[in-house]
Amino acid sequence: AGTGKFIVGGNWKCNGTAASVKDLVKALNAGKIDADVDVYVAPPFVFIPRVQAELNSEKYAIAAQNCWVSEGGAFTGEVSAEMLVDANIPWVILGHSERRALCGETSEFVGEKVKYALSKGLKVALCIGETLDQRESGKTMDVCYAQLKAVNDVITAADWDNVVIAYEPVWAIGTGKVATPDQAQDVHAGIRKWCASNISPEVASKIRIQYGGSVNASNCDELATKEDIDGFLVGGASLIGDAFVTICNSAK
Ligand code: PEP
């Protein structure tokens, strides 16, 4: 089991309006968050300044949902790691399955992104996970290990101090089909073992492994009892203030 502090992230994805973000921030600010949990929320870029101005920063850190793979410049539509640092955004989510699948991000590209973001001082939530086909053909762990290896090949053991791993089975994301606590625990334990063998035992014990995929206010408690589940990355339910607060407070 890991020794790190429970950590919950809210991935707002490509959702929201000025009005809905205002309401969500209000609901989050009204929530009581346990002292022993780290929380980040990842609004769409266009809303970040507004969320930074209004959201209680003692309870919630800000994350970006993506950043560019190298120094900014002639990359239309992209946002660079330097810009995030300059804008006081401490976290970035990288390797989300939607970007891997829909934007063609390979594991090697994600590895380069993680390396560059870390080199600029960002903290990274690294998403990994298998598709339904891969699970059904028994390749879950191979897929997760290969995605981790592509990152580990280009960063140092010390760099992992600033990485949180989010295990997000693709078949569970946005589907309402949550992994069972045992399914999630098995993969988390495998990831931690991989870290012990391929990074270091010290990193393996410290690294925090979030589960993501249809987590909600009703299923978080049981998942959180599992010893290698160190928190959650939440999509849909992070848009509902009180549900997200409940999930944040589900550490056992
Ligand atoms: C996600 O996109 O990171 C996610 C876990 O989404 P959802 O909670 O909606 O399944």
Note whether residue 1 is domain-resident: no
Q: Mean pLDDT across the chain, nearest whole number?
A: 97
Q: What is the pLDDT of residues 38-82, one digit of tens each?
A: 999 999 999 999 999 999 999 999 999 999 999 999 999 999 999
Asked whether 64 and 89 are in contact (CB, 8 A), the reply is yes
CA 173 to centroid of ligand 1, rounded, Å: 5
Q: Who's near 158: CB < 8 A, 6+ residues apart?
A: none
74 Cα–ligand 1 center, Å: 31
Q: How confident is the model at residue 252 (pLDDT cuts 50, 70, 90)?
A: confident
Distance CA 199, CA 196 (A): 6
| Predicted local distance difference test score (pLDDT) of residue 2 | 79
* Residue 197 covered by a domain: yes
Q: What is the tens place of the pLDDT at every residue in 153-192? A: 999 999 999 999 999 999 999 999 999 999 999 999 999 9
Separation between Cα atoms, residue 11 and residue 75, nearest integer Å:
24
Domain of residue 30: give its range.
Answer: 6-248
Residue 219: CATH number of its domain: 3.20.20.70
3-class state of residue 174 by DSSP: coil
Any residues with Cβ below 6 Å from ligand 1, and which?
11, 168, 173-174, 212-215, 233-237
Q: Which of 151, 162, 159 is nearest to 125 (CA)?
A: 162
Active site residues: 96, 168
180: in domain? yes
pLDDT band at 251 (very low <50, low <70, confident <90, very high): very high
User: How many domains does one find in the chain?
Assistant: 1
**pLDDT tens digits along 79-128:** 999 999 999 999 999 999 999 999 999 999 999 999 999 999 999 999 99
Whether 115 is in a domain gets the answer yes
pLDDT of residue 1: 65
- In this structure, is residue 201 part of a structural domain? yes
